[in-house]
Amino acid sequence: MHLSWPGGPLRGTAQLPASKSEANRALILQALAGGGTLSNLSDAHDTQLMRRLLAAAPSTSVLDAEDAGTVMRFLTAYLTVTDWRGQLTGTPRMQERPIAVLVDALRQAGARSSYLNNEGYPPLELAGFTAAPATTGPTALAVRGDISSQYISALLMVGPRLPGGLRLQLTGHVGSRPYINMTVALMQLFGAACAAQGDTLLVQPGAYRPTDYTVESDWSAASYWYAMVALAPAGSEITMLGLRQTSLQGDQAIVAMMAHFGIETTFLPDGVHLQQHAAASESQALAFDFTDCPDLAQTVAVVAAARGILVEMTGLESLRIKETDRIDALQTELAKFGGGLREIAAGRFRAESNGFAVNGQSVATYHDHRMAMAFAPLAMRGPLTIESPTVVKKSYPQFWSELAKSGFTITAAD
């Protein structure tokens, strides 16, 4: 689709989807608890897919997690401890995303499973579960913390179903810790006895209790509106509903990051108000660590390059195994505009630009919803084309209609 901004300040109210991170955890916990009401579940594809597969599991022997990482990983653990028998598969890209860390841990806990194609990757054949008796104490597992917190969350959520509970030791550098904290907080809300002692997580055996919960709006989705205000004409402002000042989501870190780009955040009783103010000078270099909020990296890289503000970025390791290799994708697409994401040392990147301009370029999205939404705000600086725009259905199906409502000109490409 072709995307452009007609001019003048951005103003209005943006409707956000609910957090799929919260929703997909809450759906697993609801299933394990056997009840409870979840409110503000969005129509995001990943959330609806999780709901459908959980409902279908008792009567089918083949489940397709498609391209949804949380669905694949959370279901692998959930289906294992509920003794489901069958095949769990996904898209070709999902079959390239590793899952051995989780499968190995579940096998130690009593899972009988095998890989159908390539060792260490989906699809999986799940063939039953026999846990150690409670008299042997908690199941003790050690898991690397530097690959994906989704493995850790998947194991934690099924911990109460193990006869002796779970003792989970995280080894090495632990990334995306807010997502682990989110899992623990939601487990406690649903009645689990779960606590962290440094890098050791202890889960007591027992049943979850049915619980009612309202899912917060998505801070990852909010980051794209921060980007729009940061790139918009002077005087721009936007209100977003459903966000909480006390949030379980690590991507609330966008508030502090975007303050450096001149975006003031005011918390309201029912959301936040963003207003554009003076920003860091273009000569001022910034440094951000995305270890705990990797989904913000694309947003910040694009804004930094467009604004000509040097930003050193670390904690990007997990971006290599997302819907696409997001580091490669960013480097390729930013180069079209005169921007870049240059690796200046092992694990350290710098978002930079050299004559950055938006003048009709076409942005490839690599089957990745965040590529589409991270580059869309560049329309504030000139016309551009977004390829395969329907990828946003994964997390923010109403993204383009919300942009249109806010004044963007959107037309179908020939």
Residues with active-site annotation? 295
- All residues at 6 or more sequence positions from 21 whose CB lies less than 8 Å from its CB, including other chains: 70, 179, 182, 218, 220, 249
Q: Is 336 annotated as a binding residue?
A: no
What are the structure tokens assigned to 280, written together? 């860091």
Cα 67 to Cα 367: distance, rounded to the nearest angstrom: 9
In this structure, the number of other CB atoms found within 10 A of the CB of residue 304 comes to: 30
Q: At what angle do helices 149-158 and 100-109 cross, to 10 degrees?
A: 20
Annotated binding-site residue? 110: no
20 is in an annotated binding site: yes
Decide the pairing of beta strands 2-4 and 409-411.
antiparallel
* Residue 394 marked as a ligand binder: yes
Residue 291 CB-half CA count within 13 A: 12
Was 393 annotated as part of a binding site?
no
In whole angstroms, give the CA distance from residue 326 to residue 341. 11
The annotation status of 36 as a binding-site residue, yes or no, is no
Is 322 annotated as ligand-binding? yes
25 is known to lie in a ligand binding site? yes
292 has binding-site annotation? no
Q: Is 52 annotated as a binding residue?
A: no
Does 51 show up as a binding residue in the annotation? Answer: no
DSSP state of 216: P
> In terms of Cα–Cα distance, which of 182, 248, 223, 211 is closest to 17?
223
Q: How far apart are the first and last CA of the chain?
A: 8
148 labelled binding-site residue = yes
Provide the annotated binding site: 20-21, 25, 69, 97, 148-150, 176, 295, 322, 326, 370, 394
Provide the annotated binding site for phosphoenolpyruvate: 20, 69, 97, 150, 326, 370, 394
Provide the annotated binding site for 3-phosphoshikimate: 20-21, 25, 148-150, 176, 295, 322
